[in-house]
A and B are shown apart, each in its own frame.
Chain A
């Protein structure tokens, strides 16, 4: 069975602080894909990153970075020097070829100016 757990329901940080959003997943597939999406207050879902199970290299994109560790079944997301515009709900998701997407329950991030 596929499952994604985002244990942090809500996080508040002060602007310019770094923040890490945790994502732990469960799957029996050897080939699978992990995703992060951002849902700002306006409500749309914005794709951030896709990672396949064979690529454990960390990725950095500007102030965003992702740490994928198969040994702990985690795919954590770090925002460096947070900004007010980063305030949103962030979803982690898991899929395997031919299967559905499974979303976590989301982490609501508030960046306080």
Chain B
């Protein structure tokens, strides 16, 4: 099992550019999550999904979009990148929802300049 994988590991974007952060899991988990981690701020939930075809907003969804067409994949789309989106992005999955532990990917470090 690879667990949760994320690509790319690092990326530099110019203001106004768009990109998709990829996330995949091979544990057959229904629940998947996207977080951002800013220095000294802990993790904030951007979007989450309780199964293929179902997504919902988290605490900080503005400027992002997601889709979930398969159980395995949960890509995060950044449209019109802004410096405020400079952060480390973590994808996570869980087999049984928020009552159970989440397993995290290695993260994507994004810089917008």
Contacts and interface: CB of A to CB of B under 8 A. Distances in A.
A104 B59 CA distance: 14
B97 to A, nearest CB: 7
A45 B104 contact: yes
A107 B59 CA distance: 22
A50 B101 contact: yes
How many B residues touch the partner, as a band?
A: 20 to 34
A37 B44 CA distance: 15
B29 to A, nearest CB: 14
Contacts of B99: 33, 52, 95-97
A99 B45 CA distance: 11
A99 B104 CA distance: 18
Contacts of A35: 101
A59 to B, nearest CB: 14
Interface of B: 33, 35, 40-45, 48, 58-59, 88, 90, 92, 97-104, 106-107
